[in-house]
Amino acid sequence: MKNSTARKLIINVNVLDFGHSGSARAYSGLPADTVMSADYYARLGRIAERGTLDAFFLADHPSLTNDPRSSRGARALEPTAILTTVAEATTHLGLVGTLSTTYNDPVELADRFLTLDHISGGRAAWNAVTTYSAATGPNFGVEVNPDRETRYRRAEAFVDVVAQLWRAAYYGHDVNINNQDFQVYGRLALPGSAQGYPLFIQAGGSDQGRSLAGRTANGVFAAEMVLSAAQEHYQYVKNVAVAHGRKPEEIAILPGLVTVIGSTQAEAEARELAQKSKEPGDYEIRRLSEKLGFDLSQVDPDDPLPQEAISDYPDPQLFKGSMGFREASVRLLRERPYTVREAVSALAGSGHKRIVGTPKAIADFMEEWFLSGGADGFNLMPDILPSGLEDFVNEVVPLLRKKGIFRHEYEAKTLRTRWNMPVE
């Protein structure tokens, strides 16, 4: 395929401690306390900027953990603190931080991200999510985590407060908000930033999440593993945006992409196998059970995947996990018969598309989804950091540039200008 337009891929790197492999820390060989070091994140930011990637994307984990140094996904440092460090180490790289609308305050969050936007010269974005983890509520004095409907009602109101405060800062007026969730009067002490105010990203895959995204978001962190489903999701969210008076190009659809890269297919598969050998024995089966809401630990690995595991959930409102991850996983697992072992291997503990292969295979995949209406770009999720990111920058980025679908150098100074998103 050839890219016939000036449209370019958006590529962010989703940094999850040592990487997205279940054995990322052990495989990396780095000391456990590496994720406590500002220098580590600065180094990753500089690698991403060398590859002219769009943004450095961080998740958040508001629940407590046993030891934040020991496991994949146990966020150690607070996201905006890390992003401030990355901002100081780079000059163009965008800075996307995830913070929950369920367990934060909109005025404090708006102030924190607008501060980051000023410090970085207009490179900040907020990834708005709701929190479904049952372990989180008690840490905030909430005995039972709110149900999905309640979480998204609050999310709608929360995002509106943040948006009004940022626009008020930019245009120089006060806000007067009084609804069942929030009462906010006045304005932030800060003026608008170099890009006006931070961009909005949204990561929910449920119907409520996609509706919120279509109305408010500049980008969507999607979880799709099948092209036809990605195309359907892409068009759905764009249509919602249009229904709210927006242009389709004002919202970018960005699926997650887990990469395991080798110079040959055999080398990539050997890298994957070496990682699996270092994982806890039940890691992947536990992850898939969580994604599906069905305990697979009691099923023989070589038995067929139970149909109940991939059936429509009886009552989506009662599902405690991410509905977006579940739906993406189910769509993949319905494509053909799987044993439990094959299903675990296909998903490898992730709810995102995963490619084990050569730089060419990864570049060809990204090109196909980009040019066929499945994605505007990707949130890159390297298996191991920093090596997986370095391999992508050194080996895949040149192929994407040769295809004409990715930049050779930065031009725009702010993230909003780079993504061509208007100030509203």
What are the tens digits of pLDDT across the range 258-296?
999 999 999 999 999 999 888 766 767 777 887 788 888
Helix (H, G, I), strand (E, B) or coil at 12: strand
Torsion of CA 162, 256, 254, 157, to 10 degrees: -20
CA angle 227-218-215, nearest 5°? 90
Residue 187 has pLDDT above 70, yes or no: yes
Beta partners for residue 129, in sequence order: 100
Mean confidence (pLDDT) of the chain = 89
Could you tell me what percent of the chain has a pLDDT over 70? 91
**Residue 68 and residue 74 in contact, taking contact as beta carbons nearer than 8 Å:** yes
pLDDT in tens, 349-382: 567 899 999 999 999 999 999 999 999 999 999 9
Q: Is the pLDDT of residue 341 over 90?
A: no
125 SS3 class: strand
Q: What is the tens place of the pLDDT at every residue in 46-60?
A: 999 999 999 999 988
What's residue 324's pLDDT?
Answer: 67
Q: Are 170 and 187 in contact (CB under 8 A)?
A: no
- Retrieve residue 93's tokens: 């790289």
pLDDT at residue number 67 = 58
Alpha helices in 15-136 (DSSP H): 24-28, 38-50, 79-89, 106-120
Q: How far is CA 388 from CA 34, 80, 116, 258, 380, in A?
A: 16, 24, 27, 10, 10
Cβ neighbours of residue 118 closer than 8 Å, sequence gap 6 or more: 190, 193, 194
- Alpha carbon of 333 to those of 135, 258, 315: distances in Å? 28, 17, 20
Q: Cα dist. 248→11, 163, 405 in Å?
A: 19, 20, 19
Mean pLDDT, range 175-188, rounded to an integer: 95
pLDDT at 3: 45
Residue in the block written with tokens 């979480």 = 151
Output the pLDDT for position 356. 95
Quick check: 328 and 210 in contact, CB under 8 A? no
Query: Residue 386: is the preceding peptide bond cis (ω within 30°)?
Result: yes
Residue 373 φ/ψ region, left for φ over 0, alpha for ψ in the -120 to 50 degree band, beta for the rest:
left
Give the residue extent of every domain in the chain. 10-264+353-418
Q: How would DSSP label each residue in 307-375?
A: GGGGSPPS-GGG--S-HHHHHHHHHHHTSS--BHHHHHHHHTT-SSEEEEE-HHHHHHHHHHHHHTTS-
State the number of CA atoms in the 13 A half-sphere of 309 facing the CB. 26
What predicted TM-score, i.e. pTM, was given to this entire model? 0.88
Task: With beta carbons less than 8 A apart as the criterion, state whether 291 and 283 touch.
Answer: no
Rounded-to-integer distance, Cα 158 and Cα 380, Å: 28
- Confidence category of residue 1, pLDDT binned at 50, 70, 90: very low
Q: Considering only CA atoms, which of 262, 236, 260 is closest in space to residue 248?
A: 236
In this prediction, residue 66 carries a pLDDT of: 57
Identify the band that residue 2 occupies on the pLDDT scale cut at 50, 70 and 90.
very low
Please state the rounded mean pLDDT for residues 163-188.
96
Using CB atoms within 10 A of its CB, is residue 184 exposed (0-12), middle (13-18) or buried (19+)?
buried
pLDDT value of residue 4: 43
Q: Which of 3-7, 30-34, 399-403 has the lowest mean pLDDT?
A: 3-7
Q: What is the CATH number of domain 10-264+353-418?
A: 3.20.20.30
Nearest to 353 by CA among 228, 193, 247: 228
Sequence-separated (6 or more) residues with CB below 8 Å from residue 153? 181
Beta carbons of 11 and 362 less than 8 angstroms apart: no
Average pLDDT over residues 10-28: 92
- Give 144's contacts (C-beta < 8 A, 6+ positions apart): 137
- Rounded Cα gap, residues 253 and 376, in angstroms: 5
**Residue 60 CB-half CA count within 13 A:** 25
For residues 268 and 400, give the distance between their C-alpha atoms in angstroms, rounded to a whole number. Answer: 19
Identify the DSSP state of 173.
Answer: -
Whether pLDDT at 245 is above 70 = yes
Across the range 102-121, mean pLDDT stands at 97
Helices (H) and strands (E) in the chain, counts: 15, 11
SS (H, E, C) 245-295: CCCHHHCEEEEEEEEEECCCHHHHHHHHHHHHCCCCCCHHHHHHHHHHCCC
